[in-house]
Amino acid sequence: MAPKAIIAPSILSADFAQLGADCARTMDQGADWLHVDIMDGHFVPNITFGAPVVAKIRKHVDRPTENHGRGTFDCHMMIAEPKKWVKEFQKAGCDLYCFHYEAAFSSAAESPEGKTDAKTNPKDLIRYIHDCGLLAGIALKPMTGVEVLTELLESPDAKERPDMVLIMTVEPGFGGQKFMASELPKVQALRQKYPDLNIEVDGGLGPGTIDQAADAGANVIVAGSAVFGAQDPAEVISLLRNAVNKASA
């Protein structure tokens, strides 16, 4: 049985002019987490917002009382320099700092002699995120295979193991894109090997695609336009949760 269903609406589809109120309402409608999309215009061709905005919206949503609990701010860092912003986001009220594997390695490739140092090595970055008191997530773009995560997921040292893996089901950068079912074998492979792992999917999730993702083994569901664009967001959140629970029963 997969870990519990966690529904994390992506606030990328909220009204940025009333973000605090939108976040609070989404929680009242039954969300477990908020998925906070941070884009820097370098790693992805779009810009959202930074830590000061996260600190403001944190005031509208109670902090979780346990790891992975209700009110978790799941910050999806679509940024080129993930190490640089960990402390800033921790201070702002982030709970789970999810960086892209590809960002760690693209920075590494640019470092002198292509070295992977503490700044860029995913293992050291996960340790650093944990040392800063946050949960650590690692995200994969489409095209990056899950085998790159084996060493991390099987590390004997819990400080080096990610608390969650995010499998992108669209190219990161924009909401409202078409779901890529081609990414689901990655979810299946991870679920088979790691029954207790939190596996998040993000991009194009909604009533029409949730069953495929849930059947593959995803338990953390990000949905932006499907929730914020719904007539009845509470109904959509509940439908997503029921699909995950049914698939994992």
Ligand X SMILES: O=C(CO)[C@H](O)[C@H](O)COP(=O)(O)O
Please enumerate, by residue number, every residue annotated as part of a binding site: 10, 35, 37, 76, 173-176, 202, 204, 224-225
224 counts as binding ligand X under rule CB under 6 A: yes
37 counts as binding ligand X under rule CB under 6 A: yes
192: tokens are 């088979």
Mind telling me the catalytic residues?
37, 202
Residue with tokens 């902090």: 63
Task: Name the DSSP letter for residue 61.
Answer: S
> How many residues sit close enough to ligand X to count as binding (CB under 6 A)?
22
Contact code string over 1-20 relative to ligand X, x by CB under 6 A: ---------x-xx-------
28: tokens are 């009242």
By CB under 6 A, name the one of 144, 188, 225, 245 that touches ligand X: 225
Which residues are bridge partners to 78 per DSSP? 39
By CB under 6 A, name the one of 77, 222, 240, 247 that touches ligand X: 222
Rounded to an integer, what distance in angstroms lies between the CA atom of residue 150 and that of residue 148?
6
Rounded to an integer, what distance in angstroms lies between the CA atom of residue 119 and that of residue 105?
10
Strands 164-168 and 135-140: parallel
Stretch 174-213 residues interacting with ligand X (CB under 6 A): 174-177, 202-205
Summarize as ranges the residues that interact with ligand X (CB under 6 A). 10, 12-13, 35, 37, 76, 170, 172-177, 202-205, 222-226
